[in-house]
Amino acid sequence: MQTSPTILVVEDNEWSRDLLARWLLRRGYHVMLAVDGREGISKAKYLSPDLIIMDLSLPEIDGWEATRRLKADPSTREIPIVALTAHAMASDRQKAMSAGCDDYHTKPVDFDSLLRSIEAFLLMRSRAALRRFAAAPATDHSSPAIGDSQC
């Protein structure tokens, strides 16, 4: 049975968080929520989501710093992080990408563009997982036969 990808939404604005969560749920994703950067980091480490949507203006730890910490941690560095923010200047995009965000979208949300981005990152992630699986050395899972000296 195939499970739905898990997306962690890190957003402090309740209205935006609810809107985004409902939109993702209607598209079949499993959604987890965090209300600040500190909780986002903690949940990313614990849940290992398939993708993170990160607001940048967050309390506790802002989205830029949360992204830097997640990308520095070997257990979370491969999780794609999509910035979703009201910061719309070209320098804001560069700052987000320099922090480690894999993509950048501004509010108000262009849902079609965001969905294309999510789907592309999830496809790349699943292909990478298949390549790692195919490259892994084969393991002999055979059981010793009755009468073998190993029994």
Question: Per the domain annotation, does 108 fall within a domain?
Answer: yes
| pLDDT tens track for 87-141 | 778 788 899 999 999 999 999 999 999 999 999 999 998 877 777 777 777 665 5
- How far apart are the C-alpha atoms of 151 and 140, rounded to whole Å? 16
| H or E segment and range at residue 132 | helix 111-135
Write down the mean pLDDT value for the chain: 89
Residue 144: band (very low, low, confident or very high) from pLDDT cuts 50, 70, 90: low
What is the separation, in whole angstroms, between the first and last Cα of the chain?
35
* pTM: predicted TM-score of the whole model, two decimal places: 0.85
Question: Per the domain annotation, does 142 fall within a domain?
Answer: no
Question: What's the domain range around 78?
Answer: 6-135
Average confidence (pLDDT) over 39-62:
96
Contact between residue 62 and residue 10 where contact means Cβ atoms under 8 Å apart = no
CATH number at residue 109: 3.40.50.2300
Question: Per the domain annotation, does 151 fall within a domain?
Answer: no
Closest CA to 37 of 76, 9, 72: 9
Question: Per the domain annotation, does 1 fall within a domain?
Answer: no
Question: Per the domain annotation, does 129 fall within a domain?
Answer: yes
Question: Per the domain annotation, does 149 fall within a domain?
Answer: no
Angle between helix 37-47 and helix 63-72 axes, rounded to 10 deg? 30
Residue 127 pLDDT: 79
Please count the structural domains in the chain: 1
